């Protein structure tokens, strides 16, 4: 990944994605500015890993643009894609809290621009100000919410509704505009893995969503056209 030192005049532009959604959107502007001001911009190419399971924990990452896939599982299982993080979201909390090796792999799914906040910058702030430490620690609660969301989606018995639930979650619930005008980068196989379906089943269900006017698809691309209608189908019978 290529690293570019941030310029002061770019600070407000770099704050905007984190003011709109994700962890920092739930905190005061001054704290947001403080965290963003500690960051270094990192450009990451599709297919590369931001970090892998077992790598040393060296800091937090926020997503300015693009998409990052979360891969993991039980130690006796082959790691599998379970979720996609998008603009405004953060990952890597283990680093500033207690360090040690990373426990998940975060892989770049689209051309992405990240904000890296190193332990060397963040940990001294947390040690000097308990309020900062508490605010950073609240990232753990967001992780718990996401874990419960993923599990609940996969407990949806109807295959079509389950796929709709996963689509809404991994495409940002309609809050995120694709960086690519052709749509979000997602393959049938990635959706099949995340929704516990076959690629054939995914293709057939996506075609029905297109016919309903909820999404549009291209080659490994998906655009949300009517997130509210897709959500009504996904959650209409509460599973």
Domain match, 135 and 46 both: yes
Query: What is the number of domains present in the chain?
Result: 2
pLDDT at 4: 46
The Cα angle at residue 239 between residues 232 and 72, in degrees rounded to 5: 105
pLDDT at 236: 87
pLDDT at 237: 67
Report yes or no on 149 lying in a domain.
no
Domain match, 133 and 197 both: no
pLDDT at 1: 56
Chain mean position to CA 129: 28
Domain match, 110 and 7 both: yes
pLDDT at 194: 97
Q: What is the CATH number of the domain that holds 186?
A: 1.10.10.10
Domain match, 137 and 160 both: no
Domain match, 112 and 228 both: no
Domain match, 9 and 83 both: yes
Report yes or no on 217 lying in a domain.
yes
From 111, 141, 171, the end of a domain falls on 141
Report yes or no on 86 lying in a domain.
yes
Domain match, 70 and 174 both: no
From first to last of the 239 residues of the chain, give the pLDDT tens digit. 554 444 343 445 899 999 999 999 999 999 999 999 999 999 999 999 999 999 999 999 999 999 999 999 888 888 899 999 999 999 998 878 877 889 999 999 999 999 999 999 999 999 999 999 999 999 999 999 999 999 999 999 999 999 999 999 999 999 999 999 999 999 999 999 999 999 999 999 999 999 999 999 999 999 999 999 999 999 986 54
Two tokens at 46?
């599709």
Domain match, 23 and 114 both: yes
Domain match, 107 and 210 both: no
pLDDT at 9: 39
Domain match, 166 and 115 both: no
Full domain range(s) for residue 52: 2-141
Report yes or no on 147 lying in a domain.
no
Q: What is the CATH number of the domain that holds 89?
A: 2.60.120.10
Tens of pLDDT along 42-57?
999 999 999 999 999 9
Chain mean position to CA 140: 14
Task: Tell me how far CA of residue 44 lies from CA of 75, 77, 101, 114, 227, in angstroms.
Answer: 27, 27, 21, 7, 28
Domain match, 73 and 169 both: no
pLDDT at 97: 82
Tens of pLDDT along 178-198?
999 999 999 999 999 999 999
Domain match, 179 and 133 both: no
The C-alpha atoms of residue 193 and residue 196 are separated, in whole angstroms, by 5
Query: What residues contact residue 134 under an 8 Å CB cut-off, 6+ apart?
Result: none
């Amino acid at each position: 990944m290529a690293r570019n030192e941030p310029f002061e005049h770019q600070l407000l532009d770099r704050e905007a994605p984190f003011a709109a959604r994700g962890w920092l959107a739930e905190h005061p502007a001054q704290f947001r500015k403080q965290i963003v001001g500690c960051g270094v911009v990192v450009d990451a190419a599709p297919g590369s890993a931001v970090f892998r399971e077992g790598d040393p924990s060296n800091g937090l990452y926020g997503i300015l643009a693009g998409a990052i896939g979360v891969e993991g599982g039980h130690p006796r299982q082959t790691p599998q894609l379970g979720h996609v993080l998008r603009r405004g979201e953060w990952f890597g909390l283990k680093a500033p809290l207690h360090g040690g090796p990373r426990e998940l792999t975060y892989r770049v799914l689209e051309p992405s621009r990240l904000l890296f906040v190193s332990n060397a910058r963040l940990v001294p702030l947390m040690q000097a100000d308990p309020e900062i430490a508490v605010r950073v620690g609240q990232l753990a609660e967001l992780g718990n919410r996401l874990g419960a969301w993923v599990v609940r989606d996969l407990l949806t018995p109807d295959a079509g509704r389950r796929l709709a639930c996963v689509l809404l979650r991994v495409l940002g619930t309609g809050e995120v505009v694709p960086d690519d005008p052709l749509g979000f980068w997602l393959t049938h196989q990635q959706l099949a893995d995340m929704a516990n379906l076959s690629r054939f089943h995914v293709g057939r269900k996506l075609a029905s969503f297109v016919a309903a006017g909820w999404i549009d698809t291209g080659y490994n691309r998906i655009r949300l056209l009517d997130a509210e209608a897709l959500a009504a189908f996904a959650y209409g019978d509460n599973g």
